[in-house]
Amino acid sequence: MRRVSALLNLIISTIVLSLIAVLISPLDKKGKIINRLGRIWAIFYLYICHIKIRTRGVENIIEGPCVYMCNHQSVLDIFAIYVSLNVPFKWIAKKELFSIPFLGWALKAGRHIEMDRKNPVKAIKSLKKALVNLKNGINIVIFPEGTWGKGDRLLPFKKGGFDLALKAGVPIIPVGIKGTRTLQPEGYNVPIKKGTIEVNIGRPIYNSKGPMTEIDSLMDSVKKELEALIYGTGS
């Protein structure tokens, strides 16, 4: 019964808040109000599902734009990020999400960034759009693995987000998320049990513009920090 209630809540809240987002979009050029709607959506849904968020490292959130990089193991990661990062941001999300009725409309209304990884030309355009957002002071959230992780280790990172941070001259803040895959594994529309999600926000990682070797070094630094935030080890 709890899972039925959670599914109904997800459907109804997504429809209602998506329609509100579409209506206010012309008046919300930077998407800050729509971002708050997303946070309300996530808080209410997790409350219905009896899932708590335990956030550590909030003091590491800085003023000014940055790129937040998070591991990705479940749909619940999206809700956890909305609740934990109480700052305006734009998602870089896979293009398929933008085709889903209501949810896709809300993503477009919030001017989030559609990523088509199978089309290099479109992918470059998406990263250029993200760069403009950073230059305008808007944070970007990205999953550097590019897809859901299947095991207990991080997947190899895609370089696009790191190149983006270097070109914009902004820091990367790693965000480690724990517990979402256990609560809602792949293939389930709603969480299968109650529980707590841990979100650990790391310290900003800075780097300067430079050649590809600096991107490799930055990727390695972020991966080690993210592993420490998730698994308690930098190995």
Stretch 204-222: mean pLDDT: 76
Cα–Cα separations (whole angstroms), residue 127 to 13, 32, 72 = 30, 20, 20
DSSP 97-162: GGGSTTHHHHHHHTT-EEE-TT-HHHHHHHHHHHHHHHHTT-EEEE-TTSS---SSSPPPPPSHHH
pLDDT for residue 235 is more than 90: no
Residues 6+ away with beta carbon under 8 Å from 144: 69, 157, 158, 161, 162, 219, 222
Q: Which helix (H) or strand (E) holds 54?
A: strand 51-56
Does the pLDDT of residue 115 top 50, yes or no? yes
pLDDT in tens, 154-197: 999 999 999 999 999 999 999 999 999 999 998 899 999 999 99
87 burial via Cβ count (<10 Å: 0-12, 13-18, 19+): middle
- Domain layout of the chain by residue ranges: 2-231
CA-to-CA distance for 215 and 218, rounded, in angstroms?
A: 5
Nearest to 126 by CA among 84, 99, 163, 151: 163
Predicted local distance difference test score (pLDDT) of residue 9: 87
Q: Which CATH architecture has domain 2-231?
A: 3-Layer(aba) Sandwich (3.40)
pLDDT of residue 208: 53
